[in-house]
């Protein structure tokens, strides 16, 4: 798949996933998109606030992109196939896919993999190696996106973990309209 075709699919509100059994890669859509708010609706859980402020984790961007991809894929059942890893690498080389990482010293603590198009950031996956590494990454990523002028943080599928941070579901037509508006706004992730 070419980078332009891949971005075209994401621009329509679809996302790529590999079948866990066969590894075949397909486009998926959802009637409701999980959105992490980039305004006052974002909620950092009270128990996490001291850790975020402590400086225990340092933030880096794209310093270990492939390691983050591998960390996100390292699960008993994964939708990140070798082909999708290659696609992420191509999107990264083209300046669209990014890793937002937390580090503890020289150790990668956690990270988030995502795709930036205009003022939209589409979170693909996250992982941690050190407890709370990905949670702190999420809080710091929201702060980063706010500071850079992003208007949409799409987390694709809702789960209880994201709900703790204020994520909400947006219906397909409203999501696609916001996505189209955001894609046309120039923003730089790095």
pLDDT for the residue numbered 94:
98
pLDDT for the residue numbered 20:
85
d(CA 127, CA 168): 21
Q: What is the pTM of this model?
A: 0.95
For 53-59, the CB contacts below 8 A with 24+ separation are 56/104, 56/136, 57/102, 57/103, 57/104, 57/109, 57/110, 57/132, 57/133, 57/136, 57/137, 57/140, 58/102, 58/103, 58/104, 59/100, 59/101, 59/102, 59/103, 59/137, 59/140, 59/144
Sketch out the chain's domains with CATH numbers: 3-183 (3.40.630.70)
**pLDDT at 1 exceeding the cut of 80:** no
d(CA 136, CA 142): 10
**pLDDT at 169 exceeding the cut of 80:** yes
List CB contacts of 97: < 8 A, sequence separation 6 or more.
65, 88, 89, 91, 113, 114, 115, 116, 124
In tens, the pLDDT along 34-72 reads 999 999 999 999 999 999 999 999 999 999 999 999 999
pLDDT for the residue numbered 23:
84
In tens, the pLDDT along 15-30 reads 999 998 888 999 999 9
Residue for token pair 């590894």 = 23
Paired tokens of 65: 């992109």
pLDDT for the residue numbered 54:
95
User: How confident is the model over 180-185, as a mean pLDDT?
Assistant: 98
Selected residue with higher pLDDT from 21 and 114: 114
pLDDT for the residue numbered 77:
85
Q: What is the mean pLDDT of the chain?
A: 96
pLDDT for the residue numbered 27:
96
Question: Lowest-confidence range among 33-37, 105-109, 157-161?
Answer: 157-161
Containing H/E element for 178?
helix 172-183
What percent of the chain lies above the pLDDT cut of 70? 100
pLDDT for the residue numbered 113:
98
């Amino acid at each position: 798949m070419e980078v332009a075709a891949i971005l075209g699919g994401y621009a329509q509100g679809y996302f790529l996933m590999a079948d866990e059994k066969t590894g075949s890669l397909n486009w998926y859509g959802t009637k409701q998109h999980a959105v992490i708010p980039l305004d006052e609706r974002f909620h950092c859980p009270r128990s996490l606030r001291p850790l975020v402020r402590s400086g225990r984790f340092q933030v880096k961007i794209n310093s270990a992109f492939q390691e983050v991809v591998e960390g996100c894929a390292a699960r008993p059942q994964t939708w990140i196939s070798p082909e999708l890893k290659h696609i992420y690498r191509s999107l990264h080389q083209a300046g669209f896919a990014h890793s937002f990482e937390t580090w503890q010293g020289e150790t990668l603590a956690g990270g988030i993999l995502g795709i930036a198009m205009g003022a939209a950031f589409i979170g693909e996956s996250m992982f941690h190696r050190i407890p709370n590494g990905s949670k702190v990454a999420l809080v710091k990523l929201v702060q980063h996106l706010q500071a850079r002028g992003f208007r949409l943080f799409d987390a694709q599928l809702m789960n209880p973990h994201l709900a703790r941070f204020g994520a909400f579901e947006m219906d397909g037509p409203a999501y696609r309209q916001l996505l189209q508006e955001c894609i046309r706004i120039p923003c730089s992730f790095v």
